[in-house]
Amino acid sequence: GKDIVSFDQFSADDVRRIFALAGHMKQLVLGKEPCQLLAGQLVSLLFFEPSSRTFGSFAAAVKRLGGQTLEIQNPETVSSVNKGETFEDTIRVFEAYSDAIVLRHPRPGAALRAAESAEFVPVLNAGDGNNEHPTQTVLDLYTLYERFGRLDNLTGVMAGDALNSRTIHSLMRGLSLFENNTVYLLSPEKLRLNREDLNMFRSRNITIHEITSERDIPRDCQYWYWTRIQKERFDSLTEYNEMVAQRFTVTPALLAEYASQEMILMDPLPRIGTIDTEVDKDHRAVYLRSQVRNGLYTRMALLALVLGRA
């Protein structure tokens, strides 16, 4: 099927194919060229969790390709949330109305359940709890590729909530498709990747070092990838605040001390205590520039592919 549930479904060749198409989409958008690739197609955007970038870029992607969207952004309006309808039934109802479903959901595994429930239309995982966010990884890899011209031989830091960050979980999968990549994971002790996931990643084609202080960041990294402590994943505010007190924030001083001039500073956003706004004007800051824009181009490419239009 054409569902996109986990980044594990992609090969290195798939990534290259998506990139070629994303480059084409970028030219379309920058050239303001009208495009009707998705004319007659309707895509349901079912967002059971808040979102700015993923929702906005998917909606923009469909519309820029001449398609239409059916948008659910408030889960309280969905019968499965408020009247006890099953999640599976909700998915089957929306598949009857649309040609693809883009799903964000707080529950890990929700995208897989949706893909199994939908019989006729592709389901795209727009983030399922603390599990995965595969389309974010496509834009993250595209951003790295645009800057360095390769996806192998890269060393980077991924900082923040490694335990809960679905963007880190998918990005590690993505980088493990290529050769000789090394990741330094910088997290508070309690927010380290869970041990089972760590062992799973260590059995793959990627080298992982866990570090607990900024002082351990190697100075020759090609990228820093900062993620927020995720308030919505904690049972209590006390626990969240305890983790916030231990978080790492990128400041001009931290960059000056540990980052090369050639690296890029990434953040999937939203930025909650991850990066000082002082850093935004730095030439290495790509989170509000390339990353956000690449989210549009890569999602245009993914939609064209899963809908059989490319």
Q: Give the chain's radius of gyration (CA, Å).
A: 19
Q: Applying CB under 6 A, which part among 24-32, 51-59, 72-80, 298-306 lies near ligand CP? A: 51-59
Q: Taking the complex as a whole, how short is the minimal distance between the CB of residue 48 and ligand CP, in angstroms?
A: 12
Task: Give me 46's structure tokens.
Answer: 């079912």
Cα–Cα distances (Å) from 168 to 19, 25, 158, 171, 227, in that order, read: 20, 25, 7, 5, 8
Helix (H) / strand (E) containing 93: helix 87-97
Active site residue 293: no
Our answer to whether residue 104 is catalytic in this structure is: yes
Which member of 26, 64, 104, 169 is catalytic?
104
Residue number with CB closer to ligand CP (64 or 299): 299
User: To which H or E segment does residue 44 belong?
Assistant: strand 42-47
| Shortest distance, position 128 Cβ to ligand CP, whole Å | 12
Q: Assess 271 for contact with ligand CP (CB under 6 A).
A: no
CB 69 within 8 A of CB 56: no
54 is catalytic: yes
d(CA 40, CA 65): 10
Nearer to ligand CP, 55 or 87 (CB): 55
Residues 239-268 that bind ligand CP (CB under 6 A): 268
Instruction: Tell the smallest beta-carbon distance from residue 46 to ligand CP (Å).
Output: 13
The catalytic position among 32, 77, 83, 283 is 83
> CA-to-CA distance for 302 and 182, rounded, in angstroms?
27
Q: Smallest gap, in angstroms, from Cβ of residue 53 to ligand CP?
A: 4
Annotate 137-174 with DSSP letters as a single string: HHHHHHHHHHHHS-SSS-EEEEES-TTT-HHHHHHHHH
Report which DSSP code applies to 77.
Answer: G
Please select the residue that binds ligand CP; options are 51, 73, 80, 117, rule is CB under 6 A. 51
Task: Specify the long-range contacts of residues 78-83, CB closer than 8 Å, at least 24 apart.
Answer: 78/46, 78/48, 81/48
C-beta of 165 vs 310, nearer to ligand CP: 165
Stretch binding ligand CP (CB under 6 A), from 24-32, 52-60, 91-99, 257-265: 52-60
Least distance to ligand CP from the beta carbon of 258, Å?
24
**Does residue 111 contact residue 88 with C-beta atoms inside 8 Å?**
no
Site for ligand CP in 128-157 (CB under 6 A): 136
C-beta of residue 39 within 8 angstroms of C-beta of residue 67: yes
Length of the chain: 310
Give the one residue of 26, 53, 173, 293 binding ligand CP; rule: CB under 6 A.
53
274 contributes a contact to ligand CP by CB under 6 A? no
**Residue among 64, 105, 113, 133 flagged as catalytic:** 133
Is 269 a residue that touches ligand CP (CB under 6 A)? yes
Identify which range of 47-55, 69-77, 181-189, 273-281 contacts ligand CP by CB under 6 A: 47-55
- Whether 109 and 88 have beta carbons less than 8 Å apart is answered as no
Q: How near is the Cβ of 183 to ligand CP at its closest, in Å?
A: 19
Residue 52 interacts with ligand CP (CB under 6 A)?
A: yes
Amino acid identity for residue 202 in this structure: R
Catalytic residues: 53-54, 83, 104, 133
In the complex, the residues that contact ligand CP under the rule CB under 6 A are 51-55, 127, 136, 268-270
